[in-house]
Every structure is written in C-alpha cells, then in structure tokens.
Amino acid sequence: MRRTGKLTLLLSLCPLIAYGTSGVAQIYPRKPIRIIEPVVSGSPVDVSMRRMVPKLTEFLGQPVVMENRPGGNSAIGAREVARATPDGYVLLHANANNSINDALEPNSDSRLNRELSPVTLILKTPLVMTVHPSLNVGNLKDYIALAKTRPGTITYASGGSSSLPRLLVERIQQVAGIRTFEVPYKSLGAEMPDLVAGNLMTAYVSPLSIVQHVKAGRLRALAVSGARRIGILSDVPTMAEAGLPGVEATAWTGVAAPAGTPPDVIARLQQTFARVLALREIHYEIEGLGQEPVGNTPEQFGAFVRNEVEKWTEVVKQAGISQRE
C-alpha cells in the first residue's frame, strides 16, 4: 500500500515536473492564443507564421489565431502586445523591423527585451544583392569600383528610412566608401517590375523572389547578406566572401510576449515553436524558400535582438537617419 501510494503521488507530480513549478504553466493554455501579426495579411512574414498555426494548435491543445495589425513599420502591433496582460495569451510575431524601430526610437513603449519578452527566433532570411545585367558588373568588387566612378547615380530600391534594405545599403556605403541613389517603394516586392525591366539598377530582396530571374539571366545576384550561402542560390557568395567582411543583414521573425509573462509559460511556448520547426515538412519548406529555421531559447533570442539593435543603432547614427524621414 505504501509503495502504491508513493507511485500514485509520483505520477500526480509528472505534469508539475514537465511544465514547471509556478502553477501557471500547469494549466496553460486554457483558452485560445492570439498571435498579433504586425504586417499585412498575405505578406511573406504573415504566411510564414500561418503555415505553422495548425501544428501550434495541435501541440498546445487550444486554438491559435492570428490577427493582423499592420502599420508603423510593425510598431502598431508591437504596442498592442506590450500593453496586453502578461499571461501568454497574446503574442507578437516580431520581425526585423521591430529591432530597427528600437534603434531609431530607443525610448518607445514597445521595445524588444524591455516591454516585450523574447520567446524564440523563428527564422532568418538573408537579402540578396541583385542587379540588372545592363549595369555590366559581374561581382561585388566590380559594382563598388563602378559606384566610385559614378557617385550618387547607381539606383537602389528602398522601403524608406526604417527598412532593412536602406540600412544594409548605408552599411555597405560606409564600409566600401561609395554613394548610391535611393528610390523608395511603398511595399516589399514592389520594386521587382522596375528591376526586371532595367528601370532600377539594384535591389536587396528575398532569395525566393529573384531565384528564377537569376537562373533565366534576367537578373544577376552579386552577394547574399547572411553569414553563409543559401541552398537555392549556392553559387552566390556572402558579402564577406565577395569582399565586404562584417557586412551582414538578415530579415528575421520571432515570437515575443508582454514583459512579465511567467517564465514557465515562456518555456512552454518556446518548446512548442521549436517542436513545430523541427517537423520535417516545416523545416524543409522553410529551407526551400532560402530561409533558415531556428527555434532557439529565449536567452539566445534576447541576445540576438540586442546585437541587432546595437548594429543598426551604429548605422543609424553614422548615416544620420531619423524616425521622421
């Protein structure tokens, strides 16, 4: 009887061991979870999370729903989550724009690692420096040499002062000692018709958007902005390999919760997202898009965000960029 009683007690403690000791995570989740998407529905960032939602719902045992709150370079959605109750039922699908916002406006009310707590980094996507063949450059060194002879005349596509392509270009210009001409576009991918037609000389875009054009010879890829080459454009060197060491920029997405969310809830969420990302069909699909699935710990994601904010803060200061541009 004593042995049976001890076994019964041990079995009753298993959920507590598995999910933590705060009491909160034992019963989490008990209702639907909302993921605030700070970009428009149907965009690549939005789609990347939506393909994970069915498995998140299955593994968490509660409906996971997405709500789009675009605007303010992803600041509107971040602000809504920062003000939400810190109980794990309202999450932010954060992206690289949020770290850029923190660099441009360090005293905002929706900062990553401040008003928002890191859960996990979902994926990273390098940008591909792409040119129209009429520019007649075969590699990044040729491009830099040409830009030095034609300062301020080679055009590039930008999404505005707080866009990742704009900051990447500023970094390239600072390191290479060149000056190019910005052509702003209102949305991601809007520059592609002009680039393919030869009305625009340079763009920094996602791998999937240009891979077929590169293979067909309509565009030329000079370098990828990540730390390593990507499978779908394996012959395209990194910026470092092409002659600009230390120049890196990745579009990324991750999950954040309101500051003060219980650690055990954060841990349950991180483990669930990592489990989904490890699924063969999800993992291979992400890699097939030229992206890198991650699913790291909250501490690792927090450190990644700090590095991103520090990097872009330095670029912003040197370039004299302000939030009001």
- Per-residue pLDDT tens digits for 254-289: 999 999 999 999 999 999 999 999 999 999 999 988
Nearest CA to 209 out of 290, 281, 154 is that of 290
Sheet with 90-95, edge to edge strand ranges: 64-68, 33-37, 90-95, 250-258, 116-126, 292-293
CB 247 within 8 A of CB 261: no
The CATH homologous superfamily to which domain 2-124+251-319 belongs is: Bordetella uptake gene, domain 1 (3.40.190.150)
Q: So where are the chain's domains?
A: 2-124+251-319, 128-242
Provide CB contacts within 8 A for 282, sequence distance 6+: 51, 52, 55, 276, 293
Which DSSP category does 89 fall into? Answer: S
* pLDDT of 37: 97
Supply the DSSP string of 266-314, one letter for each residue. HHHHHHHHHHHHTSHHHHHHHHHTT-EE----HHHHHHHHHHHHHHHHH
Sign of CA dihedral 94, 99, 101, 107: positive
Nearest CA to 163 out of 216, 224, 100 is that of 100
At 66 the three-state DSSP class reads strand
Q: Which residues in the chain come in under a pLDDT of 70?
A: 1-26, 323-325
* pLDDT of 249: 95
Return the CATH architecture of domain 128-242: 3-Layer(aba) Sandwich (3.40)
- 262's tokens: 């219980």
* pLDDT of 3: 43
CB 201 within 8 A of CB 154: yes
Supply the DSSP string of 27-62, one letter for each residue. G--SS-EEEEE-S-TTSHHHHHHHTTHHHHHHHHTS
- 81's tokens: 């989550």
The total number of residues shown for the chain amounts to: 325
Domains 2-124+251-319 and 128-242 share a fold: yes
* pLDDT of 42: 86
* pLDDT of 43: 83
With tokens 């293979």, the residue in question is: 215
Which helix (H) or strand (E) is 76 found in, with range?
A: helix 75-82
**Reported pTM:** 0.85
* pLDDT of 10: 35
